[in-house]
Structures are given as C-alpha cells and as structure tokens.
Amino acid sequence: MVLAQLGGRISGAIRQMSNATVIDKKVLNDCLNEITHALLQADVQFSIVSDLHTNIKRIVDFDALAAGHDKRKIISKAIFNELCRILNPGKKPPFTPKRGKTSVVMFVGLQGSGKTTTCAKYAHFHRSKGWKPALVCADTFRAGAFDQLKQNAVKAKIPFCGSYTESDPVTIAAQGVERFKKENSDLIIVDTSGRHRQEAALFEEMRQLAEATKPDLVVFVMDGSIGQAAFDQAEAFKQSIDVGAVIVTKLDGHAKGGGALSAVAATKSPVLFIGTGEHVHEFQVFDAEPFVKRLLGMGADLSGFMDNIHQAVSSMDQVQKPPELLSESGNFTLRNMYEQFQLMLNMGPIGHAIPGFDQELMMPKGGSGKMKRYMIMMDSMTKKELDSPNGSLMNNESRILRVAKGSGHSIEAVKEMLEAYKRQAKIWSKTLKKGSKNNKMMNVEQMSKVIPDEMLKQIGGKGALESFIKKMGSGKDIMATFNK
C-alpha cells in the first residue's frame, strides 16, 4: 500500500469513528482494527503496530474517562500523537553541524538507496543557506559513482573530489577530508559505497572509513520504498556504525512508506530530511507533525502551500531576478524552459496555474512529473546546448545519445523532451508577442480551478486569493515575471 493510501485509510477510520452516534469500546476497537490493518499492509513492523494499539487503548480508557469528555477528540489526538511518536524518536541528532566550523558528515546505506543523490541534495540545501559544503566520493565499488557525484557537484557549483585510479576508498576519503579542511570548507560530505545486501565487507569498509575520516555525524540513507526489509536493514547498520541520523529517500508518490516508518523506530535516530524525487530540489526538512498531518490529509496542508509560495519568492530573491522568459536574443531556449520548470516546481499548486504551460507536463506519470524527468535530462546538457537558439545544437543524434546516457534515460525519452520543448517554445512565442495582454497574468480564475477546494476554503475563497496575489505582486513583483 502506498503512503497516500495508508493516510487515506487511517483518516477514513478516524472519520468513521467520529461519525458514530455513540463512542463506545466497540467503535474504538473497530477504528483501531482498521488502522492496525492499514499499517500492517503498508509494511510497518508488527511490534510497532502492536505498541501503537496498546498505547492508544491506554490513553483512551473509557472507564477512567469522566463523563462530558470529548471522546472523539481524545481518540483522534491519541492516534495522531502515536503516529508522530513512531516517526519522531524524540531525540535530537547527536551532532548538528555549525556554520563556519568544519564538520564531517558521512553518508552510509545500501546500494541504490540514494546516497550519492542525497549527498548532492544535502550539499545543495546547505549551500543555499550560505554554507561552504564540499563533496568527497569514497564510493569505489560502483563504476560511475564518481561521475554521478561529479556531475551533480559541477551543476550545483560545489567543490568535490574523488579518483578514477585510486581503488582504496579509505585513502580517497582521508585525502579528500584533509584537502577540504585546508580549504576551510565547513561541511565535508563523504559519500561511501553501497552493496546489494548488508554484508560483512560493506560494514568493514564503513568502519575503516569512519576511522580515517572521524565523522562528526553518520547519516544512514534509506530507500523509503522498500518494505519490511527496512527494519532489519536499519538495525544492521545501527549495530555496525554509530548512526546519528536518517534520511529517507524516494518518498514520492509510489513509496510504500511503512517500511521506512519502521526503520526510523529501529535506528532510534531522528529523520533529518526526506527525498521526494530524483532532482536536487526534491528534498525536504523532515518534521513529524506536518508529515503526519499531510499523510492524514489534515488541514489540506495550508502551511505547505504557503511554504511553497515563500520558497518560490525567496528562490527568486536568491537569483536576484525572476527567471527570464526569453533569452536575450528573444528566443525561448532550453534553459528558459528549465528555469520555468524550476519556478513552477517551487511554487507547487500555484505553478500549475501559470498560463502558457502545457498542462500535460504537470501531470504526474509513474510517480514523478514529466517536468522533473525533463529537468534531469537537461542537467546532462552543456551550457551551449541549453542556450542554443531554438535548441538547434540538440538537432544532433550523438548529442541526444550523450544526454540519454548521462541522464539515465532512453534516446526516445530525450527526443520526447525535445519535442515538448518545441511545443513549449511555440506557445511562449505566441504568449509573449507584443500587445497580447490577455493571457500573461496569473489569473485568479485559473488559479482557483487548480487549487484544491479545501485549500481554497482555508485561504478564504477567491476574494482572499485575489488579494493575496496582489500583495505578493506588490511585495516581490512576482506578477512582473509573467507580465513581460
């Protein structure tokens, strides 16, 4: 069962309980049975589910509850708190890096869990907050790991090191950490090898790396889409190395998630971030309460919605100017398309309302939007290719092949992206023709159609949305972006 379904079933059980005329032991038991089934089907460990069941029964003790208590509220709150408790072991990481002081953070995890991607996301996240991160690739086990890290690092302008010739990860890691300490990096991130399974060789290598680099924090990266195996895996890592924090990856649309919930409990370490896609921006600070709220569909996640807007506005601040809609030569280039995608992804639901965009691009397919896949392909293009007028440099089979290989997509997929770009360029050149006023605005009507009803209600309806857009427009000039 995927995470969204799990949330749906739990909130359904709570709703059913709330709608009962009289709240008695039977109603509570029915509700808890449905929740336990849902959690077990989502691969949450039996012992965790059983604890949750016992704790809620203890809190909601009908015999001890005085008359007049709102049982519906007490039960719902107990369920919510228990779900948060599973995800939040109540511990702070043993170490929190401090800006300006050198810290070494080592990433460990099984092969394919997303370590290399996550190292880059972690570095990028901190860099955007003013840190001086650096990446060390100590993964000599997987051919291509260094190239992958290098590509991400170059794109995000983060110093990196690794080796094509040195086969000893310990030597590479030790030299890398030493070098970046000298260069005054304040966050040295060490990416390590994975293996297909938990095996002695991997754990031995991990211990040697820890010995050589003396990490201040070891982060265990876990694939959130795996099932029951997650618990054992997390426990095995925890026993072999001093795991201080966890990052759960691949919690996008199709993740089972339950295994990840169990694993968090196994490591008894806090989750720092979650990965929600392949792209460097798809990385969120983890906070149990909003996560559970979102899982249960509570409050339509208005805070997340507002965050999206603030992030979009502040990311515009970071680049100091809104993304250009056209290149200097008046062309809609692949880079323009990339920047627009970036803006829209940052803006969440509001981004969907931007006129001139092919709505099909926004639709999730296979768990991640086409936009995100296209951005990954564009990540493998050179500056010249991104800026070439009408994408002309990409009318070339060998370049298409290189981008396909570099981004891990098929040639057909890259061609599909280039076709989408051509369609997009056509739409933009029409939309931005001088004198055309009608469809350049972020229009309240369009926006209110794409924002979920419940969210719109919370904002205060269309009127409030309109005044909000106006405010945003005057404060940060976001409207100007679409009004050129």
Ligand X SMILES: Nc1nc2c(ncn2[C@@H]2O[C@H](COP(=O)(O)OP(=O)(O)OP(=O)(O)O)[C@@H](O)[C@H]2O)c(=O)[nH]1
Which residues in this chain contact ligand X in the complex, by CB under 6 A? 109, 111-117, 139, 142, 145, 148, 193-194, 249-250, 252, 275-278, 282, 368
The number of C-alpha atoms within 13 Å of 392 and in the hemisphere containing its C-beta is: 4
Write the CB contacts of 45 (distance below 8 Å, at least 6 apart in sequence): 228, 231, 262, 265, 266
Query: Is 26 or 197 the residue whose CB approaches ligand X more closely?
Result: 197
The minimum distance between CB 146 and ligand X, in angstroms, equals 10
In the complex, the smallest distance separating the C-beta of residue 118 from ligand X, rounded to whole angstroms, is 6
Q: What is the DSSP string of 302-336?
A: HHHHHHHHHHHHHHHHHHSSPPPSS-TTS---HHH
Report in angstroms how near the CB of residue 235 gets to ligand X at its nearest.
19
Taking only Cα atoms into account, the Rg of the chain, rounded to an integer number of angstroms, comes to: 25
User: Residue 273 in contact with residue 125, Cβ under 8 Å?
Assistant: yes
Minimum Å gap between C-beta 106 and ligand X is 13
Smallest distance, ligand X to C-beta of residue 254, A: 8
Nearer to ligand X, 134 or 226 (CB): 226
CA-CA distance, 410 to 390, in Å (whole number)? 22
> Could you please report the per-residue DSSP string of 321-375?
SPPPSS-TTS---HHHHHHHHHHHHHHGGGGGG-TTS-HHHHSEETTEEHHHHHH
Between 236 and 326, CB nearer to ligand X: 236
CB 447 within 8 A of CB 466: no
- When the beta carbons of 131 and 283 are compared against ligand X, the nearer one is 283
- Residue 214 identity (one-letter amino acid): K
Q: How far is the CB of 299 from ligand X (least distance, A)?
A: 25
Q: Which is nearer to ligand X, 111 or 446 (CB)?
A: 111
By DSSP bridging, strand 368-369 and strand 160-161 are unpaired
Comparison of 260 and 465: residue with beta carbon closer to ligand X: 260
